[in-house]
């Protein structure tokens, strides 16, 4: 199955992508995580993306399209994948079509802006492996420590309130038109993001069935 997860920053795409990955055994691919890893490793692509990401802006299409083209060639993608954070613009969606990739379903996780702003302040990520947590909704077993690798949990720089606002503006302007794009193709399924992760997961799994 080839899936796309759509939704505002902080809507919980990454968390739900992991759940689908566990259930269906297909890889969850996060362009955000790939870019952050590149930044950390100081690669050329990381350097190109840095200023955009830190300002809460989208990284240029040609950069992320290049990332996805490379990633989808890998062996683990042959039976399907979940795209978390790609596409985020119409040209990115068009690039998938041009690559001949047939997407089965697009799950859009809807969370109102006010809730996004409140949630983002509680988000924490592992400084080593990029797993994500929340001070209230997705607590690690030990406060401040990653369950998966023991790494220190930190706040992402682009989760600062001013940057979150900028990301929401980008989302509404550039990414939301994708709902219409995929709705016209009959692929869009809308899920209302719930307070509890497991409740959203139940709705996401139901949307995968229909």
Q: Which is nearer to Zn ion, 150 or 177 (CB)?
A: 150
Instruction: Give the range of 79-87, 97-105, 137-145, 200-208 binding ligand ADP by CB under 6 A.
Output: 79-87
Set 19, 36, 71, 123: catalytic member = 123
Decide if 13 contacts 29 (C-beta within 8 A): no
For the chain, helix, strand, coil in percent to 5 are 50, 15, 35
Residue 83 host element (H or E): strand 81-84
If one asks whether residue 93 binds ligand ADP (CB under 6 A), the answer comes out as no
Residue 116 interacting partner from ligand ADP, Zn ion, none (CB closer than 5 to 8 Å by kind): none
DSSP 3-state of 101: coil
Set 88, 119, 124, 189: catalytic member = 88
If one asks whether residue 31 binds ligand ADP (CB under 6 A), the answer comes out as yes
Residue 146 interacting partner from ligand ADP, Zn ion, none (CB closer than 5 to 8 Å by kind): Zn ion
Spatial neighbors of 96 by CB under 8 A, at least 6 apart, are 68, 87, 103
Q: How many Cα atoms are found within 13 Å in the side-chain-facing hemisphere of 29?
A: 23
Closest distance of CB 30 from Zn ion, Å? 14
Residue 193 interacting partner from Zn ion, ligand ADP, none (CB closer than 5 to 8 Å by kind): none
167 is catalytic: yes
13 is catalytic: yes
Set 2, 13, 19, 36: catalytic member = 13
Separation between Cα atoms, residue 80 and residue 94, nearest integer Å: 19
Spatial neighbors of 100 by CB under 8 A, at least 6 apart, are none
What are the helix (H) ranges across 57-160?
Answer: 61-72, 90-98, 113-120
> Backbone dihedral region of 56: left (phi > 0), alpha (psi from -120 to 50 degrees) or beta?
left
Please identify which residue in 9, 15, 109, 193 interacts with ligand ADP, judged by CB under 6 A. 9
Scan residues 93-152 and list those touching Zn ion (CB under 5 A): 126, 128-129, 131, 146, 148-149, 151
Scan residues 116-175 and list those touching ligand ADP (CB under 6 A): 158, 167
User: Which residues, in sequence order, are bridge partners of residue 49?
Assistant: none
Residue numbers of the site for Zn ion (CB under 5 A)?
Answer: 126, 128-129, 131, 146, 148-149, 151
Residue numbers of the site for ligand ADP (CB under 6 A)?
Answer: 9-10, 13, 30-32, 35, 52-53, 56-59, 64, 85-88, 92, 158, 167
């Amino acid at each position: 199955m080839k899936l796309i997860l759509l939704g505002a920053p902080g809507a919980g795409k990454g968390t739900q992508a992991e759940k689908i990955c566990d259930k269906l055994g297909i890889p969850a691919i996060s362009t955000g995580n790939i870019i952050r890893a590149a930044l950390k490793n100081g690669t050329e692509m990381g350097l190109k993306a840095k200023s955009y990401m830190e300002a809460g802006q989208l990284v240029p299409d040609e950069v992320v399209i290049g990332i996805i083209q490379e990633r989808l060639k890998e062996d683990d993608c042959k039976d399907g994948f979940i795209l978390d954070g790609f596409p985020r613009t119409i040209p990115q969606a068009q690039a998938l079509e041009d690559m001949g990739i047939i997407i089965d379903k697009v799950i859009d996780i809807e969370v109102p802006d006010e809730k996004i702003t409140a949630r983002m302040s509680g988000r924490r990520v592992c400084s080593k492996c990029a797993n994500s947590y929340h001070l209230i909704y997705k607590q690690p077993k030990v406060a401040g420590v990653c369950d998966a690798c023991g790494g220190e949990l930190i706040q992402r720089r682009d989760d600062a309130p001013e940057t979150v606002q900028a990301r929401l503006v980008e989302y509404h302007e550039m990414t939301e038109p994708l709902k219409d794009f995929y709705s016209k193709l009959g692929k869009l399924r809308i899920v209302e993001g719930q307070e509890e992760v497991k409740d959203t997961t139940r709705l996401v799994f139901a949307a995968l069935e229909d």
